[in-house]
Amino acid sequence: MTALAVLLIAAGLADLGSRLTRRRWVPAVLGPVVVVGCAALAGLWRPGDIVLLTFAAAAVTAWVLLAARAARTGTGHLAPLAVFGSAVGLLIVLSGIDSPVGGVLHGWPAWAGIPVHPDRLLMIIGVTLLQIVTGNQLVRLVLGSVGAVKPEGQPQPSDRLKGGRLLGPMERLLILGLGLAGHLVAATAVIAAKSVIRFPEINAQKARENGDFGIDEVTEYFLVGSFASWIVALGGLALAQ
C-alpha cells in the first residue's frame, strides 16, 4: 500500500505546513510536491503507480482546501471527511496495482540499520505524520459535523479543556508507539488514564462558567473528540502492522 503511505505523508506535511504559514496556497501546493518527491525517492514510476499517486495528489489538495474552508466558515465539515475517507478506502482497494518501494528508499533501511521492510517503514512514516496535525484536523471535523465546535475566532468548548490540541497528538503517538512495540495492553491503559484524569476536571466545572457553553457541551466535546482521536490512532496502527 505504497500509494496510501504516500497520501498520508503528503497530507501530514501539507497540514503541518498550514500551521506554519497563513498563505492558503502553500499547503495546497505542498501536498502534490511531497507526492512527487516520495515517488522519486521510492521509485514509484510504473503506470499503476502514476494513476494512484495522481489521485492521491488531487485528494490531498482537495482535503487541504475543504478542511480550511470548514474551519473558516464552521460549515461543510463532512466534505473533507468524505474526501479523506474515500481516498484512503480507494487506495486500499486498489493497492494491488501499486509497486513496492524501490529507488533510494529501498536500500536505506538496511544501510541505516533499521530492521523494517521498506514498504512498512514508508507506512509507519505516513501514519506517524497522520497522528500530528492531520489527526487534530480529522477530530475537529468530526466534532464540527456534530455541532461541537464553532468557526475560527469564536469561543469553543475546548476552552474549558486546556492543552487538548497538544495532548491529542501526544496521546495518539503514544498509542501508536506502544502498539508497534507490541504493548497494546499498555496503549489501552493510556486511553483509560485519560478518562480518569479528565472526568473529574469536567465534573468540577460549573454549568456556565465560561462563555455560552454548559458542562454538557464540554462533556460531549470530550467524548466525541476522544473517541475520534482514538480511532485515528488505532486506524494508523492497523495500517502500520
pTM: 0.87
Instruction: Give the distance from CA 55 to its chain's centroid.
Output: 18
Give the pLDDT band (50/70/90) at residue 183.
Answer: confident
Q: What is the pLDDT of residues 82-96, one digit of tens each?
A: 999 999 999 999 999
Tell me: pLDDT of 33 over 90.
yes
Give the angle 192-196-198 at the CA atoms, nearest 5°. Answer: 115
Count the neighbouring beta carbons within 10 Å of the beta carbon of residue 89: 11
What are the grid coordinates assigned to 74, written together? Answer: 464552521
The more confident residue out of 56 and 147 is 56
**pLDDT over 90 percentage in the chain:** 53
Q: What is the pLDDT of residues 60-72, one digit of tens each?
A: 999 999 999 998 8
pLDDT at 16: 93
Please compute the mean of the pLDDT values over residues 229-241 and round it to a whole number. Answer: 92
**How far is it, in rounded angstroms, from Cα 66 to Cα 182?**
36
What are the grid coordinates assigned to 152, written together? Answer: 475560527
Please compute the mean of the pLDDT values over residues 186-194 and round it to a whole number. Answer: 75
Tell me: pLDDT of 207 over 80.
no
**pLDDT over 70 percentage in the chain:** 82
pLDDT at 220: 74
**How far is it, in rounded angstroms, from Cα 212 to Cα 208?**
7
